[in-house]
Amino acid sequence: MLLSATRQRGLWTSLQRPSFLCIHSCRIHSTNYLWQDQDDQRKRRSIDYKLRGKGRQFVDFMRVVARGGNGGDGCVSFHREKFLAKGPPNGGNGGRGGSVIIRASSDETTLRRLGRACTAKRGENGLGGGRHGTKGDDLVIQVPVGTIVREVAPASTTNADEEEEEELDEREKRDKRWVYYPRMDPDQHEHELASTGRKNYFLEAERMMDEEEKYLKWRERKERQQGAIYADLAEHDQQVIVCYGGLGGYGNPHFLTTDNRSPKWATRGRAGEQRALTLELKTIADIGLVGLPNAGKSTLLGSISNAHPKQAAYAFTTLHPFVGTVDYADQYQLTVADIPGLIQGAHRNVGLGHAFLRHVERAKLLVYVVDLGGDAPWDDLKILQNELEQYRPGLTKRQSLIVANKADQVAMAKGNLAILEEKVRADKIPVVPVSAKYEKNILKLTAILRKNVERIRQQETEQRQHQQQQQHDLDDQD
Ligand SMILES: Nc1nc2c(ncn2[C@@H]2O[C@H](COP(=O)(O)OP(=O)(O)OP(=O)(O)O)[C@@H](O)[C@H]2O)c(=O)[nH]1
Ligand SMILES: [Mg+2]
């Protein structure tokens, strides 16, 4: 129960869990080793504190409540001038509230800087002399490229608003909608007019606004029926408007009719849209490195790309994904994502869990990094494949490659490599022996990576063209 709740809260929370902090051993495949030092409270607390700091640097899942700015209020005002005692109404309309926009930016790498509640600016109120209020500023939320924006429970906010509105009494409802000229009291006004038998223009304006409200609610319902917001911001500058700002209120000239020459009321701005959203960052890289802790993933990334991830001889050195770029002499580029180590049982939230696999989920090519200096690299491979399948069934069907690292450890490496190649022959996964630390066979590896990625890119383009052609043919038939 505790584990599943923690898992739901995502990687950030799991990083704070003290349980995995007592890891000293480099290569332990037992599922319960993480809990062995549970009693050592003091040590646990100090490392927990350090990790909280590190964990906070990278956030890849966030729940956000976004709200468009409210519209500005309309203004009730009349033209006043010397020798013109009763001028026409000239109150300005309120400005529209700002919208909330989520935009992908290649300068961002984490969702850490986002607030839980994001509200755009409200529109300015209208002013006398026919001056309309200015529009509120949009709130642009910058997120890393690869962020997926999803709306949660689309209908809930409208229902809450409606319920709240039902609780208000008649007078409060009116005050929420109208702005009055000084000394204008709608109830008194109604009473006076009823006694003199004159027509009540305020009631007429109220009916007009009821109609408009009904139409806007119908339109909102219709828009929501079209489906919840879902956007995959996969390119720089790609954006999605998640909440529109509320409309500004009408100034009193809006209610001017041939019969009523001095309307003493204006409307308030409407509330901006509100939506609960989840933002999930799924790194977009051509190649994803997966391996057990200490297999040498970060060392490999450091040797083939421009990235400098931390490398050390203890498990879980890497706590959050790293993306490096491999530059070729002809300016061709590949991106490679290094993620924290996976261990057996990661799908049960052992170690750092397996939530960070979302960062290799979209990789074109999966690279299994295994340690040739270990006892049984083929078992490591099985563990990795099992964990990937547990995370997303079918993920191991993705094009893949095995990098047999630490080939410099001659005593074990030669024999292990032969057995490993034998074991994966049936799966037809190529094995490339390298030594990331001493940069041996790295050029060959980068060439193989490029060849594979180019081929996959080519296949994807052909597939896309084929789909477009099919769509085109269907359209022509229609
Ligand atoms: N001998 C030898 N040691 C290596 C090689 N590659 C990496 N190492 C060492 O293995 C240890 C772990 O390397 P990392 O790159 O931090 O391993 P990792 O897979 O990123 O580990 P985590 O981030 O904990 O998952 C370091 O001490 C490296 O120096 C290699 O080719 N040969
Ligand atoms: Mg690492």
Residue 355 in this model has a pLDDT that exceeds 80: yes
Range among 39-43, 96-100, 157-161, 421-425 rated most confident:
96-100
pLDDT value of residue 363:
94
What are the beta bridge partners of residue 131?
127
Q: What is the pLDDT of residues 290-304, one digit of tens each?
A: 999 999 999 999 999
Does any ligand 1 atom lie closer than 6 A to the CB of residue 406? yes
Q: Which of the pair, 340 or 40, is modelled with greater confidence?
A: 340
Q: Which atom of ligand 1 is nearest to the CA of 302?
A: 15
**389-397: average pLDDT:** 93
Residue 110 in this model has a pLDDT that exceeds 70: yes
pLDDT value of residue 1:
36
CATH 2.70.210.12-classified regions of the chain: 61-79+88-281
Q: Is 31 exposed, middle or buried (0-12, 13-18, 19+ CB in 10 A)?
A: middle
Distance 297 CA to ligand 1 centre (A): 7
Assigned token pair, 264: 């003493």
Does any ligand 1 atom lie closer than 6 A to the CB of residue 293? yes
Query: Are residues 270 and 213 in contact, defined by beta-carbon separation less than 8 angstroms?
Result: no
Q: Which atom of ligand 1 is nearest to the CA of 369?
A: 19
Q: Pick from 188, 207, 183, 209: which is nearest to 264 by CA?
A: 183
CATH 3.40.50.300-classified regions of the chain: 2-29+285-462
Distance 11 CA to ligand 2 centre (A): 16
| CATH superfamily of domain region 2-29+285-462 | P-loop containing nucleotide triphosphate hydrolases (3.40.50.300)
Architecture of the 61-79+88-281 domain: Distorted Sandwich (2.70)
Report the chain's mean pLDDT, rounded to a whole number: 84
pLDDT value of residue 42:
55
What are the beta bridge partners of residue 275?
66
**70-84: average pLDDT:** 93
Residue nearest atom 32 in ligand 1 by C-alpha distance: 406
DSSP 129-185: TTBPPPPPPPEEEEEETTEEEEEESTTHHHHHHHHHHHHS-HHHHHHHHEEE-TT--
Q: Measured on CA atoms in the order 370, 374, 379, 384, is the torsion positive or negative?
A: negative
Distance separating alpha carbons of residues 353 and 74, to the nearest angstrom: 54
DSSP 176-222: HHEEE-TT--HHHHHHHHHHHT---HHHHHHHHHHHHHHHHHHHHHH
**53-72: average pLDDT:** 83
**276-293: average pLDDT:** 94
For a ligand 1 pocket test, name from 54, 317, 387, 445 the mutation site with the most ligand atoms within 8 angstroms of its C-beta: 317
Q: Pick from 417, 414, 408: which is nearest to 438 by CA?
A: 408
Question: In which band, very low, low, confident or very high, does the pLDDT at 52 lie, cut at 50, 70 and 90?
Answer: low
CA 143 to chain centre: 7
Segment among 44-48, 117-121, 336-340 with least mean pLDDT: 44-48
ipTM score assigned to the predicted complex: 0.99
Element containing residue 472 per DSSP (H, E): helix 442-477
